[in-house]
Amino acid sequence: MDAKGKLKVMFLPFPGQGHLIPMSDMARAFSGRGVRATIVTTPLNVPAIRGTIGKGSDLDSDSEIEIVSIKFPCAEAGLPEGCENTESVPSPDFVPAFFKATSMLQPQLEHLLLQHSPHCLIASAFYPWASHSAATFNIPRLVFYGTGVFALCASECLRLYQPHNNLSSDSDLFVIPHLPGNIQMTRMMLPDYAKTDGETKFSELLKAIKESEVASLGVIVNSFYELEQVYADYYEKLQGRRAWYIGPLSLCNQQQDKGKRGKEASVDEGDILKWMDSKKANTVVYVCFGSIANFSESQLREIAKGLEDSGQDFIWVVRRSDKEWLPEGFERRTEGRGMIIWGWAPQLLILNHRAVGAFVTHCGWNSTLEAVSAGVPMVTWPVSAEQFYNEKLVTEILEIGVPVGVKKWARIVGDSVGSEALEKALKRIMVGEEAETIRNRAHKLSEMARTAVECNGSSSCYLTDLIQHLQSIARLQNCPKSSV
């Protein structure tokens, strides 16, 4: 029991940067409202979370966030030792073992629920058993998908209406039934788990996720209502579930915190700021494909050629350390106008610099929303997960990006895109009248995002409403553990 009678919320993020980072930001947002936040994770993910929350610039001493670690059962699940994060999964063959390991965390979590007696559990959707655990302790569970609500609606409409089942070829276009916006896709763009006939391990997991959502109090979405209004309303109608739009969560970071999210950056903050300061506004292209997507050497060479031929200045994040695959003389020829970050970039810091004029992105939801918040137009290059839906939102609904032309969903390793396609998309997003129109739209959305998280903005009000709701549940249950 909290001696001060504060609301206590436990956060259980899925061990991938796409969940760890926004849920750390979320814990900060709750903590900033006087909630006692505890984040549960595995030992190797503690530094990443500590890095993201440990700055304390906007937190007073009263609002510390506790991090508690539990063991990740690598050996028991058939994973190499130390594979505690989606980034360290050695190959797609190990993905099922990774999910198996996450499914084995329930007893440890329940032990913590008993020890800490929180008033609410906020858990990533990939832990369907979390609703049951919360119910056992008579507390509400909230689901965090880590995606926007457009993607939730699109995948739900596909699951319910299966429009992709009666097509003559994988490249035939079909409209997603009942989804507002006349969104067209092909079978090739769909995740393999969405189109396999019959039950697979992953489709079983998805079914369990849906059932656990039904048993939950509702969904927390890292987005803001105005960004996806039509789909937020549609989701509530479609699912009949409550959702709280409390993002963009990354906006809780002050300038000095922006370089320290997820992992330690592989580049000195001062060096990169100095380099960007030397550039004119909107002249640099930032290229980064998140924490999981992997490209072949031939694909990387095409990217290098596309960047070089486009004539644009660039910062390119490459998640490897060897250089042999780089085209002969590339670094010499692009010296001064291009920078490669080998490893992890301070993405939020870069996106928010005035020099950045476009973002070539894999459309991971966090990256997408960070670009929206910073007012940066996008070249969309989706790879896997729900990224093809996010591409549709960016290019067709919000109209703040242009597609590079990826045709096929791939697990981890990306589709092949030629250098000319990248060069063409870069010119389209960086120069000319269309680029100007897109940039203006992106700036307007950025202002809307900032307004949403300010006092009386929609996200701020949603957060107030959620906290009050949780407090009243805690009071109604007459929990001896609180006087909230």
Helix axes 458-476, 433-453, angle to 10 degrees: 30
What are 195's strand-pairing partners?
none
* Spatial separation of the C-alpha atoms in residues 377 and 356, rounded to whole Å: 9
Q: Residue 138 Cβ, how far from ligand UDP at the closest point, in Å? A: 33
Nearest to ligand UDP of 16, 338 (CB atom): 16
Structure tokens at 282: 């909107």
* Spatial separation of the C-alpha atoms in residues 370 and 375, rounded to whole Å: 9
Nearest to ligand UDP of 345, 445 (CB atom): 345
Q: Residue 345 Cβ, how far from ligand UDP at the closest point, in Å? A: 4
Give the three-state DSSP class for 360.
Answer: strand
Q: Residue 180 Cβ, how far from ligand UDP at the closest point, in Å? A: 24
Q: Residue 349 Cβ, how far from ligand UDP at the closest point, in Å? A: 9
Contact predicate 121/139, CB 8 Å:
yes
Nearest to ligand UDP of 16, 191 (CB atom): 16
Nearest to ligand UDP of 36, 353 (CB atom): 353
Q: Residue 16 Cβ, how far from ligand UDP at the closest point, in Å? A: 6
Q: Residue 363 Cβ, how far from ligand UDP at the closest point, in Å? A: 8
Spatial neighbors of 455 by CB under 8 A, at least 6 apart, are none
Nearest to ligand UDP of 140, 148 (CB atom): 148
Nearest to ligand UDP of 140, 414 (CB atom): 414
Amino acid identity of residue 196, one-letter, is T
Q: Residue 389 Cβ, how far from ligand UDP at the closest point, in Å? A: 13
Contact predicate 232/245, CB 8 Å:
yes
Nearest to ligand UDP of 345, 358 (CB atom): 345
* Spatial separation of the C-alpha atoms in residues 19 and 13, rounded to whole Å: 6
Q: Residue 366 Cβ, how far from ligand UDP at the closest point, in Å? A: 3
Nearest to ligand UDP of 291, 482 (CB atom): 291
DSSP annotation string for 361-398: E---HHHHHHHHHHT--EEE---STTHHHHHHIIIIIS
Angle among Cα 154, 103, 221 to the nearest 5 degrees reads 35
Q: Residue 261 Cβ, how far from ligand UDP at the closest point, in Å? A: 5
Provide the residue count of the chain: 484
Nearest to ligand UDP of 113, 348 (CB atom): 348
Distances (CA, A) of 177 to 155, 158, 183: 11, 8, 9
Q: Residue 142 Cβ, how far from ligand UDP at the closest point, in Å? A: 19
Nearest to ligand UDP of 38, 124 (CB atom): 124
**Among candidates 431, 451, 290, which has minimal Cα distance to 358?**
431
Q: Residue 258 Cβ, how far from ligand UDP at the closest point, in Å? A: 9
* Spatial separation of the C-alpha atoms in residues 343 and 325, rounded to whole Å: 16
* Spatial separation of the C-alpha atoms in residues 287 and 299, rounded to whole Å: 14
Contact predicate 172/103, CB 8 Å:
no
Cβ neighbourhood burial of 324 (10 Å; 0-12, 13-18, 19+): exposed
H helices of 73-220, where? 74-77, 95-103, 106-116, 130-136, 149-161, 192-195, 201-214
Nearest to ligand UDP of 212, 366 (CB atom): 366
Using the CB atoms, write b or e for 388-420: b if 16+ within 10 Å. Answer: bbbbbbbbebbebbbbbebebbbbbebbebebe
Q: Residue 369 Cβ, how far from ligand UDP at the closest point, in Å? A: 8
Nearest to ligand UDP of 364, 403 (CB atom): 364
Cis check: omega of the bond before 248, within 30 degrees of 0: yes
Q: Which residues contribute to the site for ligand UDP (CB under 6 A)?
A: 16-18, 21, 261-262, 288, 290-292, 317, 344-345, 347-348, 364-367, 370
